[in-house]
Each structure stands twice: as structure tokens, then as C-alpha cells.
């Protein structure tokens, strides 16, 4: 995909995210508790971080393979690229956040969960 198209995609999702944050701030200012739509933020920012760094590294050509203070942008894109997958797991994985958005924001039916009523210490694991 051409870089300009990527740029337009990032801009559109950043704008959407800004509006979602305003919705959260409005709820807080009215003394309300922000809803599950806050889960949208981490999916967008973590995936966008990975995408932007990937594109930046590609644009750096051979420099993209290296990191360190003497590299373009002090190696910031390389370091952030390595961190981004962790961010997609920490504090709720992409998949779990998508489940929350699907079920609690969009009102879609839940996945089948055969162990839903089983206490945690009785779950089969390992």
C-alpha cells in the first residue's frame, strides 16, 4: 500500500480515537463512569504504534536494521517496534478487548463458553 494511504488511515483512526476520548471525558465530567468503549483506545494505539514503526523502519532502508543513539531518530522506531507486540498483550490482549467491544458496546451475542459457571480453581488447565 502506498505510504500516503497508510498516513490517511492513521489520521482517520487517530481522529476517531480522539472523539472516543472526548466521549469518555464528557462522561467523567458528568460524574458518570466511562463505559466499555474505552477498550477501543488500546487496540487502536497499540496496533497503530506497530504499523507506524514498521513503515518508518522500511523507509529507513538499511538503517532500519540497526538501532542505537547514532541511528536516524535515535533508533526510536526500532525500539518501539520491539515493544509494540507486548503492548498488544499487556493490560488485556487485542482478542479480549475485541470481545468486550463486540459484546458490551455492539451488543453482539457472546462466544460459547462451556466453563462459564465453573469456579476458577476448578478449571482444567495445563
Ligand X SMILES: Cc1cc2nc3c(=O)[nH]c(=O)nc-3n(C[C@H](O)[C@H](O)[C@H](O)COP(=O)(O)OP(=O)(O)OC[C@H]3O[C@@H](n4cnc5c(N)ncnc54)[C@H](O)[C@@H]3O)c2cc1C
Q: Which residue in the set 48, 52, 99, 103 belongs to the binding site for ligand X (CB under 6 A)?
A: 99
- Least distance between ligand X and beta carbon 104 (Å): 14
Taking CB under 6 A as the criterion, which residues in 9-68 touch ligand X?
Answer: none
79 in contact with ligand X (CB under 6 A): no
CB of 106 to ligand X, least distance (A): 15
Binding residues with ligand X: total (CB under 6 A): 9
- Residues contacting residue 21 through CB under 8 Å, at least 6 positions apart: 41
SS3 32: coil
DSSP conformation class of 35: -
* CA atoms lying within 13 Å on the CB side of residue 45: 14
C-alpha grid cell for residue 3? 505510504
Q: Which range of residues in 23-31, 38-46, 59-67, 86-94 is near ligand X by CB under 6 A?
A: 86-94
Cα–Cα distance, 114 to 126 (Å, whole number) = 17
Per the structure block, which three cell numbers stand in for 26? 464528557
Q: What is the smallest separation between the CB atom of 96 and ligand X, expressed in angstroms?
A: 5
Task: Please check whether residue 126 is in contact with residue 58, taking contact to mean a CB–CB distance below 8 angstroms.
Answer: no
Sign of torsion, CA 82 87 90 96? Answer: negative
Q: Of 14, 90, 108, 118, which one interacts with ligand X (CB under 6 A)? A: 90
Residue among 28, 73, 82, 96 that touches ligand X (CB under 6 A): 96
Task: Assess 118 for contact with ligand X (CB under 6 A).
Answer: no
Binding site for ligand X (CB under 6 A): 86, 89-93, 95-96, 99
Amino acid at each position: 500500500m502506498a505510504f500516503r494511504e497508510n498516513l490517511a488511515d492513521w489520521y482517520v483512526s487517530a481522529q476517531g480515537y480522539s472523539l472516543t476520548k472526548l466521549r469518555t471525558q464528557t462522561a467523567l465530567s458528568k460524574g458518570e463512569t466511562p463505559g466499555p468503549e474505552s477498550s477501543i483506545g488500546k487496540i487502536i494505539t497499540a496496533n497503530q504504534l506497530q504499523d507506524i514503526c514498521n513503515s518508518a523502519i522500511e523507509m529507513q532502508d538499511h538503517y532500519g536494521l540497526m538501532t542505537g543513539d547514532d541511528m536516524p531518530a535515535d533508533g526510536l522506531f526500532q525500539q518501539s517496534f520491539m515493544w509494540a507486540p507486548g503492548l498488544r498483550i499487556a493490560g488485556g490482549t487485542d482478542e479480549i478487548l475485541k470481545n468486550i467491544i463486540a459484546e458490551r458496546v455492539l451488543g453482539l451475542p457472546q462466544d460459547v463458553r462451556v466453563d462459564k459457571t465453573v469456579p476458577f480453581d476448578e478449571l482444567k488447565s495445563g
